[in-house]
Every structure is written in C-alpha cells, then in structure tokens.
Amino acid sequence: MNKRIRIDGVYDHKTIKRLRNISVSDYLFDFRTKSFNFLQLHRFVEIFKEIYSPMEKYFLLFENEQDFVVKKILSDLQQQSNFVDSDGNFNNVFLEFNDEKEVLYYDSFAVPFYTHFSENRRLLDLLKSQYIKGVVFNYSYLEDLHNRGLFVKFISNFYQLVYKEINQRKIEIVLCVDWSDDIFPSFMDYLDFDLIAFPINAKVEKDYRDVNLDIIEQELRIQKQNLLS
C-alpha cells in the first residue's frame, strides 16, 4: 500500500528536519491546552518559519477552542506571504478538530479541515461542509469494536453511508496508531486509509519534550515495513 505517514504532536524543528530523511512529509501541531505536546502560538510560528516547505502538509489540532483563537493563529500565518497563495489561501495547512461542534463553526475559518470520528454525531451532517477534507479514526476505538465483534458491521455501515461523498470529493481517511498497537490481521482488508499517524510520546522520547531522534526514525522504518509495504 502506498500510504503517507504523519507525525503528531511536533514541538521542535529538529524532529521534522530529521524525519525528512525518511520521506515523512505530514506533521501535526497540537494546540490543545491540556495536551503534553501543547505548543504556544509564538513558539509554533518560530518553528513554522524555520521548517516550512511547500512540499509538506501541516495540520493544526484543536479541541473545543474559541473561534478567535483559531483565527488568530491563521491570521499570523497569513501574514507570512510564503505560506499562502496570491489570494491569501493556504495550500498545505489544514485544521483538525477533536470535538463535536456545529458545522458552521468549522466552516467559519474557510480552511480545509479534518474531523475526528465521534459516535455522538452524524457524519453525514459534517459532509455537508464544503471544507471537510478528512475523517480521523483512532485505532483503539476500532480495536474495541473488533474485540466486541462489531468492527465489520461498523465499517460496512460507514462506507454505505459516506462512500460516495468520500470517493467523489477525495475525502481522506486518517488512522491514528500508537507505537505499540498490535493491529489485528484482517484490519487492512476493511479500512482503506490514506494517512497513518503516529504520536510523539514517551515511547519515542529521551525525556519529557525531548525526542529521541534515533528511536523515532528506527520505529518509523519498522512501521513502514510492517504496515505500509
């Protein structure tokens, strides 16, 4: 399978510069204040100026955030002319939301966005948005469904409901996996994902907020061989 890999929770420039050596080109910055990988705006802008490449994709993650905070971050980026096109639009910066707000909230930013799947709302309502770009699944949720014998039915219902929209509009499926997750054998036969995301956490850090670059590169090479070959 020819899938992309994303690294979630980046908080320094050296990680991105190192992972470019193994063709990683998708990165997520975490703006959730309770996250261990929370990134302050001024630090994010510093990092972004140093590492930005038009060949990569960058995701900005929020959860139940006030709209003016999101707009402030976007405004700061738009002031840097090399981050946007001639009309002031982003070509490779995307919003991502792990919450359950109304579609109007997401549309208010006028930027393509990804949303984390939730059982508490109808995905069809979100697909009404002209800006939706992807749906994010956590493997732990899908594994729980599998353990309860509900996975196949869930995936079948999911594709019956949204396959046409996903296919025609090229909406991406993102799978969030932890380094130690043991993906059950038949999983790949059912869910066709575009992007697999791994987190920066204690499993690939020397100390708190200090990535072990050798370990993360080694782990990614193994994951590429096991999951994406």
Name the β-bridge partners of 28. Answer: 8, 59
Decide which of 86 and 180 is more confident: 180
Distance between alpha carbon 26 and the CA centroid of its chain, in Å?
8
Under 8 Å between Cβ of 173 and 154: no
Query: Does residue 216 register a pLDDT over 90?
Result: yes
Q: What is the pLDDT, as a whole number, of residue 133?
A: 96
SS3 label, residue 190: coil
* pLDDT tier, 226 (very low <50, low <70, confident <90, very high otherwise): confident
H or E segment at 125?
Answer: helix 123-126
Q: What is the mean pLDDT of residues 137-154?
A: 96
Question: Which long-range contacts does 151-159 make (Cβ < 8 Å, 24+ apart)?
Answer: 151/190, 152/190, 155/190, 155/191, 158/123
Q: What is the pLDDT, as a whole number, of residue 161?
A: 87
Q: What is the pLDDT, as a whole number, of residue 229?
A: 56
* pLDDT tier, 120 (very low <50, low <70, confident <90, very high otherwise): confident
pLDDT per position as a tens digit, 82-110: 888 877 789 899 999 999 999 999 999 99
Q: Do strands 132-138 and 113-116 pair parallel, antiparallel, or not at all (unpaired)?
A: parallel
> How many Cα neighbours within 13 Å face the side chain of 90?
25
Tell me the CATH number at 139.
3.20.20.70
Average pLDDT, the chain: 93
Name the pTM for this structure: 0.95
Number of domains in the chain: 1
Q: What is the mean pLDDT of residues 98-124?
A: 94
CA–CA separation, 10 and 13 (whole Å): 8
* pLDDT tier, 228 (very low <50, low <70, confident <90, very high otherwise): low
Q: What is the pLDDT, as a whole number, of residue 207?
A: 95
**Tokens representing 201?**
């956490």
**Containing domain of residue 135, as a range?**
4-227
Residue in the block written with tokens 């009309």: 87
Q: What is the mean pLDDT of residues 173-198?
A: 92
Q: What is the pLDDT, as a whole number, of residue 185?
A: 82
Nearest to 48 by CA among 97, 112, 93: 93
Sign of the Cα pseudo-torsion (195, 200, 205, 209, in order): positive
Query: Does residue 47 register a pLDDT over 90?
Result: yes
Decide which of 208 and 163 is more confident: 208
